Amino acid sequence: MRRWLTAAVLGYFLYGLFIYWYLFLSSDGSLPQYLEGTPADPKTFLTGRELLLSEEYSRKKDFLFFLTAPFEWFIYLVLLITGLSGKFQKWAEGTARYFIVRVAVFWFWVSLLTAALSLPVHYIGYGLAKEYHISTQPFSSWMKDQLIDFWIGYAIMTLLAAVLVFLIRKYKRRWWLAAWILSIPFSLFLMFLQPVLLDPLYNDFYPLKDKELEAKILQIAERADIPAEHVYEVNMSEKTSSMNAYVTGIGSNSRIVLWDTTLQKLKENEILFIMAHEMGHYVMKHIYVGIAGYLLLSLAGLFLVKQLMEWLISFRGKRLQLDSPGQLAALPLFFLLIGVLSFASSPLTNAVSRMQEKSADMYAIEMTGDKEAAVRTFQELAKSGLSRVNPPELVKQFRYAHPTMAERIMYMDGWTVPEEE
């Protein structure tokens, strides 16, 4: 056990050193020389202080991301090799007769320990955003969000864990396929509920207050054959100074949402470009393409997890203190493997997402015909979020679901709007 713990700690430390070297000593994120002086050059739209803050904040934020990504896996590994997972299982079996209650008790202890150990890490991220004036959220509000996260995550994960253990015990060879089949309606159900049940727990959503602007946005929606009746506004200024807009939900619960910070900081033609971009996602059915891609990846992922769990328990079961995948104590191993595979596949999913975002940008410029507004929008987004316009390649692959700001500005700046016939 000591050897495994030492190896885990040493591996995590060496990984952290590599990430620090890469972000702070190796990569500078500087622009290619041919982009200097173009609209993509941050020196043309940021002050010297803003440039410095952008570099500092981006490096620290990226470093924190790469350190926290494997942190939960590390906790799950410690639970397994120290035997804590087995102890939680004994407590659960000793306190309840019914299976679902046992799962709830077991996963409560796992969730509580994970949340307690992760809270300082999350607080560092919150403090970093406050230090650079990205976050405007009071500590009490931040803690409220953490509690909401905990209980929503606990409820969903308890249900998933109960179904998973039941399937593993019932279908020893094909449980991964049964789990995947059940994940399809469950994922769709969550996406349907998110805009009306989950999102309002964190923020207030309401129809756009500026009715003149809403009318112009709905005119674009009508041209795109989108049956939209409202554009929604959310009071994100209570939590952040950055800007965003997005499409969420499916079916009758689909919503186009604008942060109020976006309304406050951008001009009307820039907001119309953003709205046309979001409508592009709807028209090109990117949500459904994303669901299909997620389901294909999850099918492959569940099959791989099944194989890896059986191999690890067969060859390292004693050290992991596991006898079979159907134990409650094996759940941390399942979610550890899911986390590793999800992280490993993120360059692929991000690459697909960047393609979709670019096509939505192209759609937006065709709908609005205002490339100057598009360029200014991306410049303002970079400015408000202190984002580097040209991040290091490793950061781009693992973090960027959108093209970099340099890429977006350059293909917008060079885009020729076709003349109407």
Q: Which residues are annotated as a binding site for Zn(2+)?
A: 277, 281, 357
Q: What is the rounded end-to-end Cα distance, in angstroms, of the chain?
A: 74
Q: Between the CA of residue 219 and those of 18, 80, 215, 282, what are the distances in Å?
A: 51, 57, 6, 15
Q: In 224-330, which residue ranges form alpha helices assigned H by DSSP? A: 260-265, 268-283, 286-320
Of 54, 165, 35, 173, the residue nearest 106 (C-alpha): 165
Q: What is the pairing mode between strands 232-234 and 255-259? A: parallel
Catalytic one of 199, 214, 278, 407: 278
Does residue 361 carry a catalytic annotation?
A: yes
Of 399, 387, 377, the residue nearest 39 (C-alpha): 377
Catalytic one of 62, 214, 270, 361: 361
Q: How far apart are CA 362 and CA 359, in angstroms?
A: 5
What does the radius of gyration of the chain's CA atoms come to, in whole angstroms? Answer: 24
Q: How far apart are CA 337 and CA 339, in angstroms?
A: 5
Q: How far apart are CA 45 and CA 48, in angstroms?
A: 10
Handedness of CA 375, 380, 385, 390 (dihedral sign): positive
- Which residues belong to the annotated binding site? 277, 281, 357
Other residues' Cβ atoms within 10 Å of the Cβ of residue 139? 11
Catalytic residue numbers read 278, 361
